Structure 1
């Protein structure tokens, strides 16, 4: 049996590491978590946007601790260094959210292998490095919560521009499921999120999608799901949970 969290500890403020935090879902989740007074370790490629985000968060919630570091997830050595430096700074990291992703890439065989390769590397190989670094921390401290951000596109194969993206997100979801099986009967939790259409930099050039929600609404739904520590969650739950069954 997985050990239960004592009731009086469930609302404790914790230290959360979010990658891809400079914009989009990462930034949105950072705002939602600081509203709950959690401390944040934020990393991404763009230092200027990270700095601006940190200033915003501390202006609204000066009592929390927010640390930032530049991280290019394609530099695997840097991934391990940044994650462990955050862990040392905060004394422990309670939750790590593997969020950075890429959505470019056309149909296979159309002469754009480089774009598809970049998406495959960012969404799977680079997330593998982040999960590896996260699990090193959690195994050493004997507890933790790993959150991987997949997509409803991962539920079944997609075509055209979504083909490689969906395949890599499905791979991430499968890897997360394997980790969840490994961590049964421990104090390490693994959650996979399957977001629906949420307005971000990735989606703004692809036109309005069915059931698309704004960034704030989407990120609040993600944070609510994360706090429950489920194995998997479609977000927002309505309508994506019933749609996920139809897609299967």
Structure 2
């Protein structure tokens, strides 16, 4: 679905990839409803939209609150007249600790934001999307949704749930006007650790060389929007995601061992 003159909802629109998705969509002629729990961050996104500001609306919503999400479609339609697509980008990671040391409150929060937030959005908007001539749902999973990362096992489980739910939606909606895409970003240089309140438990910070190899949020957003416009079934964003996808398919245990070994020395 080409985004020109379409109305797209983006969750997590206040920071990182979400902010860049908003700006990329606006630059391509879409109207955008940016959703985030952080009012100040949404305000900054609005400021960055420049002369496209009139095509942007901002919505402060906690995605873990089902009733708030269910009220969102009518709010978007009241401002834009319609809704043609959603990009479920919002997500948080867990503290960098093993499952044994992770408390249930953090576990529930990660699942509530990453999985249930995505589920609430899909169910809330589907009745409206099905009425459009063409429509699209893009859900952001993660490389960690198909490859186990020690210290992020619950995050990975939440993103694996997003993966399979999205693939299921694709099958359920294949004979409708609603296309569905699942995205697997690899490493992206964002503030997700800080924004998630996830303390680091690594022996050392990533080197500048390692940081330079990461996708920028803008690069990731362009890949995601391109996948949406091409109605791709799945999108692998970044060289690391593409390589590890192939490796994991070929030998899951060796791929998992490689990631565990790499993290152990960090």
Scaled by the length of structure 2, the TM-score of the pair is: 0.81
CA distance in 2, matches of 1:234, 1:88: 34
CA distance in 2, matches of 1:110, 1:239: 28
| Counterpart selection for 1:228 from 222, 227, 230 | 230
Aligned to 2:46: 54
Change (3 A) 1:148 1:135: same
Aligned to 2:26: 34
Change (3 A) 1:102 1:83: same
Aligned to 1:245: 246
Change (3 A) 1:185 1:177: same
Aligned to 2:100: 109
Alpha-carbon distance, 1:203 to partner: 4.6
- Superposed CA RMSD in Å reads 2.1
Q: Does 1:158 align with 2:160?
A: no
Change (3 A) 1:11 1:164: closer
CA distance in 1, matches of 2:111, 2:94: 10
Structure 2 matches for 1:1-248, cutoff 5 A? 10=2, 12-57=4-49, 59-61=50-52, 65-105=55-95, 106-141=97-132, 143-159=134-150, 161-203=151-193, 207-208=205-206, 211-236=213-238, 238-248=239-249
Secondary structure at 1:164 match in 2: helix
Change (3 A) 1:54 1:196: same
Task: Please say if residues 100 and 123 of structure 1, whose CA atoms lie closer than 8 Å, have aligned partners that are also in contact.
Answer: yes
Secondary structure at 1:109 match in 2: helix
- Cα shift readout 1:42-101 (whole Å, capped 9, x = no counterpart): 1111122212221321x2435x51111110111110101122210232221111011111
Alpha-carbon distance, 1:218 to partner: 2.2
Change (3 A) 1:50 1:171: same
- Cα shift readout 1:131-176 (whole Å, capped 9, x = no counterpart): 11121221244641001000011113332x2100111101111001
CA distance in 2, matches of 1:165, 1:247: 18
Task: Please say if residues 63 and 69 of structure 2, whose CA atoms lie closer than 8 Å, have aligned partners that are also in contact.
Answer: yes
Alpha-carbon distance, 1:219 to partner: 2.0
Task: Please say if residues 97 and 147 of structure 1, whose CA atoms lie closer than 8 Å, have aligned partners that are also in contact.
Answer: yes
Change (3 A) 1:46 1:11: closer
Secondary structure at 2:92 match in 1: coil
Scaled by the length of structure 1, the TM-score of the pair is: 0.87
